[in-house]
Structure 1
Amino acid sequence: RAKWQKSSERGVKYERTINNIDHLFDVSPVTTPAYPDTEVKVGARSLEQIKALDQPPEWELKRRKMLYQLNKEELLKGIE
């Protein structure tokens, strides 16, 4: 129903495209809430999707690990 992607627009890190909604409510966080038990939280699913976008792909992590190991082996050969 929603999709996060990196934005090509300057100054905008991510874009969220909402494809389908059931209800639309007009709500905004305010400095002085009307009720004492009012809370504002980031949606957990949305936050997880954003974090996933910041992670490099699995192949990149494997590549970095292999390069690290090769560099380590080269350094150890130089010490011998």
Structure 2
Amino acid sequence: KRSQLGAHYTSRDDILLLVEPVLMQPLRREWAAVQMEVEALRPAYDAATGLQRQRAKNKIMDLLLGMEERLSSIT
């Protein structure tokens, strides 16, 4: 009956065959890279005080907010 109406069903598995390699895997790689960069900056943040600590925090926040912006741009 759906095909008579011109309505077609695409299964979840069929959708994931396209979405996973095209969208999700690249995003997971980007997120992993951001996490590694943040972890690399963490010792400097932990050791710093005052203005140096604030600068280290700003670098970390820039990375995280950049990823957030990247995710929010996906439509």
The two structures have a TM-score, normalised by structure 2, of 0.35
**Looking at CA atoms only, which structure, 1 or 2, has the larger radius of gyration?**
1
- Of Structure 1 and Structure 2, the greater helix share is in 2
The two structures have a TM-score, normalised by structure 1, of 0.33
